Amino acid sequence: MIGDVFTWLTDWSHWTDTRFDTGIITQLLAHIRFCAMALAIAMVIALPLGLFIGHTNRGRWLVGAANALRALPTVGVLVLLTVIISPQFQGRTDTGFLIPTVIVLVLLAVPPILANTFAGVQNVDPGVRDAASGMGMTGPQVLFRVELPISLPLIFSGVRSAALQLIATATVASYLPLGGLGRFIYDGLAQQDYPQMIGGGVLVAALALLTDLVLSTVQRYVVSRGITGRYSTKQVGAPDPRLAVVTEAEGARA
Amino acid sequence: MIALADGASSSPLHFVEYFLDHRSEDLGLLWSHTWLSVVPVIVGLLIALPLGWVARRHRWTYPPIMSITGVLYTIPSIALFVLVPPLLGLDTLDPLQVPIALTVYSVALLVRVVADGLASVPEETTQAATAMGFRPLERFFKVELPIAVPVIAAGLRVAVVSNVSIVAVAGTIGLSNLGQLFTQGFQLSTPDAYYPPIVLGIVLCVLLAVVLDSAVVLLNRVLTPWRRAVRT
């Protein structure tokens, strides 16, 4: 079986589009496209909100409310929104499935980013904050020059855990007629073409691992060395995505 | 497949009627969903306890154990479901593939929680226990583990709640659990939306998650009576 999967993955004709089938490259780009879209929207919503709530300590209930969202079964919400929204786009290719999928993905990505941004700003040592204002920094200066850099490791672990959930859930979205790497898993299952199904699983797992690797590399360069304690030789490991889940007290993974 | 009853309403609020109409089948789905959500976490905890102990006891094993479990936890659930049979030499679509994949997730999450929980035991406490004549194994079960319970319970809550959602994903590859209600609802929704099974599935999943979460919280309270004594 492993040999068959290898054969399926290394057959170039599976990577390019043919008259009958969409190839791996196209599905991979589709997968990345809606994950990136959802992650961007979620960050635009959750980052400013988390910074605001953490800095002013107002509206903490929002963080709790966002966390409660996570008890919802992702597949169920995906199907529900599709059934509500897709009839409005009858006949227009993928749009009817794309919109509910992106909404669900955004709903999924907001809680970990929001909770971690909030927790990051909250956990800043009050002495550091006082010292910053004592030096004459204004509120926004304290937020952007002190609190934000110090919370970056936690914010990153939130973004990483959000990105992983997006990749996982975007795969499940192929269960609805929508493109993405999940196509190979669900089509392989339906056609009892198990090398294709397992090959799809390999691709999804590889995408998730690579994404996490890329984000952790970005994190290494963005987070100040004064915070990670990573000077030339001694190094502290990057926070691991599970940490985000645990610090948020409650979590669901698709 | 469930045939639509004549004149059945498609309003989302009619999920209760839908449940009563297909009671025995829906209860069966709920039961298998519960079973799949709970058992892998218990098995996962039993595996994570010794692993977490090793990671704590022999410090050099901590980084490799955490990287391996971190990688496992990074793999999306649906991919892990289809990858488990070939990796373990099982038949494709073996009934054990989903429970095994869920157990892997629970182990991956709980190993760190167990190790961190054991790390939360104050050094003086272990020293006092040793001085009182506890042997290492006895000390682990009677002193260190009970003190680590709150941290482990917090991890268990995350594991159980996320499992409920992941089990529903397994429904999309044909396993019979509450995820099937979503498939039914989707199939019944052409040409017009038919909400009751979808809403019923969401409601039952959320209820299950809340009940299991509360069970862990309760268990934590029962196992740590001294914390209540301090608080009051």
Q: pLDDT tens digit string along B62-73?
A: 999 998 998 898
pLDDT tens per residue, range B76-119? 999 999 888 888 888 877 778 889 999 999 999 999 999 989 98
A253 with B105: Cβ contact below 8 A: yes
The confidence score (pLDDT) of residue B42 equals 95
Architecture of the domain whose range is B13-231: Orthogonal Bundle (1.10)
CATH of the domain at A50: 1.10.3720.10
Q: DSSP code of A231? A: -
The confidence score (pLDDT) of residue B90 equals 83
In a domain, A232, yes or no: no
Q: Give CA A10 to chain center in angstroms.
A: 28
Name every chain B residue with its beta carbon within 8 A of the beta carbon of A209.
71, 74-75
Structure token digits, residue A247 = 């610090």
Distances (CA, A) of B153 to A131, B41, B117: 37, 12, 9
Of the candidate ranges A42-51, B14-23, B194-203, the one whose mean pLDDT is the lowest: B14-23
CA dihedral of A145, A126, A156, B105, whole degrees rounded to 10: 180
Q: CA B109 to CA A101: how far, in whole Å?
A: 27
Q: Give CA B85 to chain center in angstroms.
A: 20
In a domain, A213, yes or no: yes
In a domain, A124, yes or no: yes
- Please check whether residue A32 touches B, CB under 8 A: no
- Show the domain range for A201: 2-227+239-253
In a domain, A215, yes or no: yes
The confidence score (pLDDT) of residue B94 equals 78
Mean pLDDT of B20-43: 89
Q: Give me the average pLDDT of each 10-residue run along chain A (254 residues).
A: 82 80 86 92 95 88 80 87 79 72 89 91 89 91 90 91 91 84 89 89 93 92 77 48 45 39
Residues 149-188 of B with CB under 8 A from A: 154-155, 157-158, 161-162, 164-166, 168-169, 171-174, 178-179, 181-183, 185-186
B171 with A75: Cβ contact below 8 A: yes
Q: Which residue has the tokens 């089509």?
A: A187
DSSP chain B: -PPPPTT----GGGHHHHHHHTHHHHHHHHHHHHHHHHHHHHHHHHHHHHHHHHHHHSGGGHHHHHHHHHHHHHS-HHHHHHHHHHHHTPPTT-TTHHHHHHHHHHHHHHHHHHHHHHHTS-HHHHHHHHHTT--HHHHIIIIIHHHHHHHHHHHHHHHHHHHHHHHHHHHTTT-SSTHHHHHHHHHHTSSS---HHHHHHHHHHHHHHHHHHHHHHHHHHHH-HHHHHHH-
What percentage of residues in chain B have a pLDDT greater than 90?
A: 45
Number of domains in chain A: 1
Q: CA B109 to CA B159: how far, in whole Å?
A: 7
pLDDT tens per residue, range A78-108? 888 888 887 777 665 667 778 888 888 998 8
Mean pLDDT of B199-210: 92
The confidence score (pLDDT) of residue B179 equals 86
User: Quick check: B175 pLDDT over 60?
Assistant: yes
In a domain, A234, yes or no: no
The confidence score (pLDDT) of residue A247 equals 44
The chain-wide mean pLDDT, for chain B, equals: 87
The confidence score (pLDDT) of residue A239 equals 52
Structure token digits, residue A213 = 């690797």
Q: Are the CB atoms for A225 and A35 separated by under 8 Å?
A: no
B202 with A176: Cβ contact below 8 A: no
Q: Are the CB atoms for B62 and B56 separated by under 8 Å?
A: yes
The confidence score (pLDDT) of residue B208 equals 94
The confidence score (pLDDT) of residue A90 equals 67
Distances (CA, A) of B192 to A53, A176, B121, B179, B187: 42, 16, 58, 21, 10
Return the number of other C-beta atoms located less than 10 Å from residue A205's C-beta.
23
Exposed/middle/buried for B166, CB within 10 Å: 0-12, 13-18, 19+? Answer: buried
